[in-house]
């Protein structure tokens, strides 16, 4: 029996109580994340995210903070997670082996997303670092499992592979920015003299990690798009905003371009090879 036939056979089964519990958990996790997002953004009153923690999480909180418009990518990620939440709740997805492998991880990522916002508002800055590192680990596992499990159609690929890639890529940049904000808050003033050097080192490291993710992920383009997006807005923040740093801004532009160009080339070569192999 082929992989696709196996998936279709599983879909015809009613599923187990554990499958239903997973579907409910994903829905609950999304609701929690949404409520936490609205609370954290100040919709229900109080300061917005960039005003929390004495402004440490704002676009001017550190030398590696992206400019404000960068965070609009969360809207795309949230829409993707909302669509996934609805789709995975369908009876046809209840016993899907891929949902069984990934559903709990996706629910965990949404809980950690919401938890970060709760900690940012009511907890400490170091707590936000711990939360986002935990989120990054969960997303890395989600992305790795998505790579090794075969998608079943374009919708599956979009809502699992595409959303995981964007989420993973963006949180990779956000983890660096969040950590830099914490270090900026606790560091003595003289550390600022070495800010350009350490900023450049961290950006180069992000670029290496991004290419590693792209290669390990079969040159899926979504993580690279999100990372290049974040790096580009770090460049805007340092070249046109405060704190100003031309070296960090220029490095961010270069690293973003390298990540995007290499990833697109890798994706094109991989797809061409797939076409040749299919026609052989």
Look at residue 119 and tell me if it is in a domain: yes
Look at residue 231 and tell me if it is in a domain: yes
pLDDT at 243: 94
Percent of the chain with pLDDT over 90: 79
Look at residue 106 and tell me if it is in a domain: yes
The model's pTM is: 0.91
**Which residues are within 8 A (CB) of 149 and not within 5 positions of it... i.e. 6 or more apart?**
97, 98, 101, 102
d(CA 20, CA 178): 36
pLDDT at 8: 47
What are φ and ψ of residue 245, in 5° steps? -160, 105
Which one is predicted more confidently, 245 or 187? 245
- The dihedral through the CA atoms of 155, 15, 97, 84 has a sign that is positive
Which of 58, 228, 200, 209 has the alpha carbon at shortest distance from 143? 209
pLDDT tens string 217-267: 999 999 999 999 999 999 999 999 999 999 999 999 999 999 999 999 999
Mean pLDDT of the chain: 91
**How sure is the predictor about 111, in pLDDT bands with cuts at 50, 70 and 90?**
very high
Look at residue 147 and tell me if it is in a domain: yes
pLDDT tens string 112-157: 999 999 999 989 999 999 999 999 999 999 999 999 998 888 999 9
**How sure is the predictor about 13, in pLDDT bands with cuts at 50, 70 and 90?**
low
Look at residue 229 and tell me if it is in a domain: yes
Look at residue 113 and tell me if it is in a domain: yes
In which domain, by residue range, is 181 found? 16-270
**How sure is the predictor about 7, in pLDDT bands with cuts at 50, 70 and 90?**
very low
Percent of the chain with pLDDT over 70: 95
Look at residue 185 and tell me if it is in a domain: yes
Look at residue 278 and tell me if it is in a domain: no
| Mean pLDDT of all residues in 76-86 | 98
pLDDT at 58: 92
- Total number of domains in the chain: 1
pLDDT at 12: 55
d(CA 167, CA 110): 10
């Amino acid at each position: 029996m082929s992989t696709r036939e196996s998936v279709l056979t599983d879909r015809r089964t009613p599923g187990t109580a554990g499958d239903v519990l997973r579907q409910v958990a994903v829905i609950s996790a999304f609701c929690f994340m949404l409520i936490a997002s609205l609370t954290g953004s100040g919709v229900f009153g109080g300061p917005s995210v960039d005003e929390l923690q004495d402004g440490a999480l704002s676009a001017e909180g550190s030398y590696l903070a992206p400019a404000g418009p960068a965070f609009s990518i969360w809207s795309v990620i949230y829409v993707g997670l909302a669509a996934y939440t609805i789709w995975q709740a369908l009876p046809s997805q209840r016993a899907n082996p891929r949902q069984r492998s990934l559903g709990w991880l996706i629910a965990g990522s949404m809980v950690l997303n919401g938890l970060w916002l709760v900690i940012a508002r009511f907890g400490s800055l170091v707590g936000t670092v711990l939360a986002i590192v935990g989120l990054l680990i969960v997303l890395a596992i989600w992305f790795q499992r998505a790579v090794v499990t075969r998608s079943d159609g374009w919708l599956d690929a979009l809502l699992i592979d595409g959303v995981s890639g964007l989420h993973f890529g963006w949180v990779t940049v956000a983890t660096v920015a969040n950590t830099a904000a914490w270090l900026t808050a606790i560091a003595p003033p003289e550390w600022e003299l070495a800010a350009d050097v350490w900023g450049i080192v961290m950006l180069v490291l992000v670029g290496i990690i991004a290419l590693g993710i792209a290669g390990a992920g079969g040159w899926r383009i979504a993580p690279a798009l999100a990372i290049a997006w974040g790096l580009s807005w770090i460049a805007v923040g340092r070249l046109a905003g405060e704190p100003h740093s031309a070296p960090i801004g220029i490095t961010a532009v270069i690293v973003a371009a390298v990540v995007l160009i290499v990833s697109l080339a890798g994706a094109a070569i991989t797809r061409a090879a797939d076409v040749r192999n299919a026609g052989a």
